[in-house]
Amino acid sequence: MIRNLQIRIEGNQNAQAFVKTNLLSLPGCNTVFLSNGRMEVNYELPHIDAASIVDLVESCGLNIVSNLRQRIRLWLCYYKEAIFLENLNDKSGWDTWVRNIYLSRYRRRQERRDSRPHQSAEERSTTEK
């Protein structure tokens, strides 16, 4: 899944160029645009996520400029990507979920049935006489 991350950054030009080259050397990072204190990163989610991109930017000495709304939006992005990666690693798949739902419904139906032993038609006719 291809994603875009847009953040505002502060720092000197050398640090910004260093971050750009480091990001482009990572697998899954397609493009990095830097202009007027704004960074836009295009990346592929299974290979790299927004949290690791932000960690790399901060470790190179750049500051991320954001207000509360932007930080919440970034945290939600981290959360959505973590859930996506967790579901991507889930080997059970949709068919396993459907099978589990069917089995749980079947077990409930079996519990509601009469617990007396089943009698055949011949046994009923002999007991009624």
The pTM score is 0.67
Burial class (CB in 10 A: 0-12, 13-18, 19+), 119: exposed
Distant-in-sequence, close-in-space partners of 111: CB < 8 Å, separation ≥ 6: none
In a domain, 128, yes or no: no
In a domain, 99, yes or no: no
Q: CATH number of the domain at 68, please.
A: 3.30.70.100
How many distinct structural domains can be found in the chain?
A: 1
- C-alpha 39/C-alpha 33 separation (Å) is 6
User: Where residue 98 falls among pLDDT bands split at 50, 70, 90?
Assistant: confident
In a domain, 97, yes or no: no
Structural domain containing residue 59: 2-88
Are 5 and 41 spatial neighbours (Cβ–Cβ below 8 Å)? yes
For 28-49, write each residue's pLDDT tens digit: 999 999 998 899 999 998 899 9
Token pair 């202009």 in the structure block, residue: 35
In a domain, 65, yes or no: yes
For residue 99, give the amino acid letter: R
